[in-house]
Each structure stands twice: as C-alpha cells, then as structure tokens.
Amino acid sequence: MAVTHLDLAADRQAARSRLSRPDIALYFLWGMFWLLMLAVGVQDYLRNGGTRLWQPILWEGTSLAVATLWVILQRRVDRRYAVYLDRPWVWIGHHAKWMPLIVLTFVPTVFGIRHGVYALLGERYLHEPWSEVLFYESIKLILFYGLWMGLIFGFDTFAQAQEQRQRLLALQKSLAEAQLAHLKAQLRPHFFFNALNTISALMQVDVPRADRLLSRLADLLRATLQWGDKELMSLRDEMHMLELFAQIMQERFADRVTLSWNVDNAALGGAIPAMLLQPLLENAFKHGVERSRDAVRIEVEARRDGERLYIAIRNSGPLLGPERQDGVGLRNCRERLNVLYGDAAQMQLKQLPDAVEASVTLPWQEHRA
C-alpha cells in the first residue's frame, strides 16, 4: 500500500510540473480565439477604408498580450481554488473578486502601450474620449471575462474528475491488495505447511494420530474460511478455534509445551472481533516454544469483569526483543481493536516475573448470531 501512495504522490508531482492535457487544450482554444479576434479586427479596419495594416494588429496585439498575461497569472491562482470546483458559486465568487482589479488595470495598460508605440512612431493615437473608452472597454472586458471563466470552470472540473477517477482506481487496487494480504495472513502458510509435514511424518508411524491431526487441520481450515470475513464472533467460537490451533501446535511440539485453559463459562457468550486472539496464541508458540530450548507453559485466560471482557494469553520465558512488541500480528490486533472500539478497548504486552502476557480488554457485548 505504501508503494501505491508514493506512486500517487509522484503522479501529482508530475502533473504539477508539466502542462496537463486540459491546459494544453485551453491554451489552444485561447490562441484560436485571438486569431479570430485579430481577423475580425483587420477585416473591420479594411472595410472602413483603413490602409495601414499595422494599426489593427497593434490594437489587437496589445489586448492579446495583456490578456494572456492575466490568464497565465489566473491559471496559477486557479489551482488554489480547485477545492471549490464542486461549489460553482463559491468558485465564481473567488474569481469575480479579481474583476475590479482587472478592469482597473487592463484598459489603462493596453491604451498606455498603444499610446507609447504611436509616440515612438512619431504619430498620435486617436480614439474616442476616455470616459467612453473606459465604459465601452470595461463592458467588453466583463463579458469576455465571464465567457472565459465559464470555459476554465468546465476545463478544470473535467480535469479534476479525471484525477479523482485515477486516484479512485489506485485506491481500489491497493484495497484489493490489502485484502489479499489479510487473507494470506489468516491462512498462515508457514503454519499450514508445517502442520502438513507433521502429518506426513506421523502417518509413517502412527496412523490414528496422523488421522486425528489431519481432521483438526481440516476443522481449522474450515473455521478460518467460515469466520475469516466476519466482523464479530462469540468467544465460544473463538475459543474453539484457539483449541484447534493449539492441538495442532501441541502435536508438533508435544515434547516441549504444556497448555492450560482458564476460561470462565459466563464469558463465552460475549462478542469478540473474529480471530482476534489467534495471532496472540501463535505469538506465544512462536516466541515461547519455537525460540526456546526449554519446556514452555502456555496459559489462556478469559473472564467477564462486569461490563468488560478480559482475555490474557501467557507464555513462560523472557520477553523477546522489539520484534515481538511490534510484530505484524500484534499491530493488526491493535488496529482492529482501535477501529472497532476506539479508546474503549486495550491490548497490552507485558513482562511478568516469569512469563510474557498479552492481554485484551474490551467492552462487554452479548453476541447475537
């Protein structure tokens, strides 16, 4: 999943550094629009008997230059308003607030340049009185600005929808991967293949025992498939699965482990996140039995404390390294509790004088099938 996040970030980075496809289309349209304006301007000038072609080109050219400058500035600011694209009026409001500034600067700048160019050529730029120019040009500008704002809104909305679609696809992909990883973790290939090997070893010497182990393994596989996608299950079912798991592990390590169960009947009806405890028991075996040369004692305890359900799994031996405290099993367990109960549930790993204890406390809730 982490990789996918990075990919997304990289994509966004790339999108920022180069022109996106809608941007290119927008500038293309902008160019076409101004070619049209220029053509109309020149046509109009010639029809009115004008002979000095540079004049209409200068007029349209100055407007084009200043307007383009504004569009480029605007495009930089637009990104900041992208979050408002799904609320058009807010978006328009944010753009419209720039209008007075544009109107106030556009006409003086454009006409200033024109006057400057005429003066350089030793001529005088003649036009309608300033009041009329200001009024007429401002109306034109406002219409023009409105048209382009609408177009930009359309383009940006489209671009945003595209980006969201991409992100959604990536998200779906990473979600599917996470589900697969979850399934794989539940099936615990290491455990299953080792158990199969134990059966393969036992059937050479003790067929009934091998047969028993095989059906335990089948029961566990069945239960995993049955409960694997459930949110909650009863403590009774959870304990049943733990027993199956423990029986198989005991077959493998009969010479090195003793198990004791201390489960209060009153607690069995409680609801618990499905297969929450298996990783904890697996850890007890993994760190207690598979890592130690001595005989190990494992203890499972469950009871109801008023409005709380308390479960503890202990194994004799020292607390091993940080890898146990931050292992995948424990982390998943914590995350699930956090998602389901928030602060109302706790999971703890602690060192007792002669054992390691993993305990879970969660709000009591009667399980309904």
Partner 1 sequence: MMRVLVADDEAPARGKLQRWLSEQADIEVVAESQDGLGAAEAIERLKPDVVFLDIQMPGLSGLEVAAQLEQETAPLIVFVTAFDEHAIKAFELNAIDYLLKPYDKDRLLKTLSRIRARPADGSTRAAVATARAQTQSHDRLLVPVGETLQLIDSATVEWLEASDNYVHVHTSTRSYLLRRTLHDLLEQLGDQQFARIHKSAAVNIAAVKAFTPLFKGDYEVQLRNGKVLRLSRRFKDQLFARMGR
Residues that bind partner 1 in the complex, under the rule CB under 8 A = 189-190, 192-194, 196-202, 204-205, 251-255, 289-293
Task: Choose between 2 and 205: whose C-beta lies nearer to partner 1.
Answer: 205
User: What's the Cα-to-Cα distance from 241 to each of 5, 270, 274, 277, 309, rounded to whole Å?
Assistant: 36, 15, 10, 9, 18
CB of 90 vs partner 1, minimal distance in Å: 52
**How far is 85 from 234, CA to CA, in rounded Å?**
48
Task: Choose between 64 and 202: whose C-beta lies nearer to partner 1.
Answer: 202
Ordered DSSP codes for 175-209 = HHHHHHHHHHHHH-HHHHHHHHHHHHHHTTT-HHH
CB of 293 vs partner 1, minimal distance in Å: 5
Q: Is the Cβ–Cβ distance between 205 and 251 less than 8 Å? A: no
Task: Choose between 173 and 184: whose C-beta lies nearer to partner 1.
Answer: 184
Task: Choose between 56 and 329: whose C-beta lies nearer to partner 1.
Answer: 329
CB of 315 vs partner 1, minimal distance in Å: 13
30's tokens: 């902008």
CB of 218 vs partner 1, minimal distance in Å: 15
Residue 166 is inside which H or E element, if any? helix 130-187
> Rg (Cα) of the chain, in Å, rounded?
37
CB of 181 vs partner 1, minimal distance in Å: 13
Residues recorded for the chain: 369
